[in-house]
């Protein structure tokens, strides 16, 4: 389909004897928030790493805007519009929040004035008050928002969020949800997010992929997923 900005096709990853991913397929469309859920150890983060280029798959292909990015390094994919946040916080700890965003803005080809872009994004994410504070000294929740702002500053076409809500308060989480919806609508962005907070997933996502034991077992709207027997089996351990 032409409106699939990101396509991960038949991804296989093996760690020694362990089959982490088997023919996993994920698509993300611009203008939509796509969820990726699954029990612990299902391979969600591994799939993210394959998409961004941190992990080389044993088989499969990644297409970004219809073009294969197979064999491209992490930074090439980032320059082509793939951006992400990490499950374990990976901010530039010794830089200020503004500098974190600025480093990313300066790499973006679409921006002539990285300083302005950085300030715009900071205020949009609501980080104006802490712009000059060293990120290593900020609380985890705020540092996560800095990571989100940094990812946005590369002006991505696809944004991958690995557990964006962990460490955030309930209000912050819903604020992030609203922000994402806004971004997706305005900037024609595709968002793919891994999440454990089911409430957040069900209210934010348009489509959801369910990963279990390295395989996609269901794709659908939140309602479809909630009523899917295989998904219930995977989560509750009930045989379907």
Say which DSSP state 238 is in: -
Using CB atoms within 10 Å of the CB of residue 106, give its burial: 0 to 12 exposed, 13 to 18 middle, 19+ buried: middle
Q: Which is nearer to another protein, 51 or 208 (CB)?
A: 51
Residue 165 C-beta: closest distance to another protein, Å: 11
Residue 60 C-beta: closest distance to another protein, Å: 20
Q: Which is nearer to another protein, 114 or 233 (CB)?
A: 114
Residue 35 C-beta: closest distance to another protein, Å: 21
Residue 33 C-beta: closest distance to another protein, Å: 20
The residue ranges that bind another protein (CB under 8 A) are: 52, 54, 73-75, 78-79, 83-84, 86, 88-96, 99-100, 102-104, 106-108, 114, 132-134, 136-137, 139-141, 147, 150-151, 153-154, 167-170
Residue 234 C-beta: closest distance to another protein, Å: 26
**Cα separation, 96 vs 130, whole angstroms:** 8
Measured CA to CA in angstroms, residue 1 lies from 21, 50, 63, 217 at distances of: 23, 21, 12, 21
**Cα separation, 218 vs 211, whole angstroms:** 8
Q: Which is nearer to another protein, 99 or 228 (CB)?
A: 99
Q: Which is nearer to another protein, 125 or 208 (CB)?
A: 125
Residue 78 tokens, joined: 């980032």
Q: Which residues of 38-66 are buried (b: 16+ CB within 10 A; e: fewer)?
A: beeebbbbbbbbbbbbebebeebebbbbe
Q: Which is nearer to another protein, 24 or 138 (CB)?
A: 138
């Amino acid at each position: 389909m032409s409106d699939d900005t990101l396509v991960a096709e038949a991804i296989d990853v093996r760690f020694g004897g362990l089959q982490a991913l088997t023919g996993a397929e994920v698509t993300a469309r611009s203008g939509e928030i796509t969820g990726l859920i699954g029990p612990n150890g299902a391979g969600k983060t591994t799939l993210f790493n394959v998409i961004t280029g941190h992990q080389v798959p044993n088989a499969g292909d990644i297409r970004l805007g219809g073009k294969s990015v197979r064999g491209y390094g992490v930074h090439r994919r980032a320059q082509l519009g793939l951006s992400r946040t990490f499950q374990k916080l990976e901010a530039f700890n010794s830089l200020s929040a503004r500098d974190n965003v600025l480093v990313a803005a300066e790499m973006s080809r679409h921006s002539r004035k990285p300083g302005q872009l950085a300030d715009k994004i900071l205020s949009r994410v609501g980080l104006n008050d802490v712009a000059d504070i060293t990120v290593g000294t900020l609380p985890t929740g705020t540092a996560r928002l800095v990571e989100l702002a940094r990812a946005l500053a590369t002006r991505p076409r696809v944004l991958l969020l690995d557990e964006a809500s962990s460490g955030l308060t309930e209000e912050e989480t819903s604020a992030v949800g609203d922000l994402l919806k806004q971004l997706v609508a305005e900037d024609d962005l595709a968002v793919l997010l891994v999440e454990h907070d089911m409430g957040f997933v069900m209210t934010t996502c348009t489509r959801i992929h369910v990963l279990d034991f390295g395989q996609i077992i269901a794709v659908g709207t939140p309602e479809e997923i909630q009523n899917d027997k295989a998904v219930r089996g995977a989560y509750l351990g009930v045989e379907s």
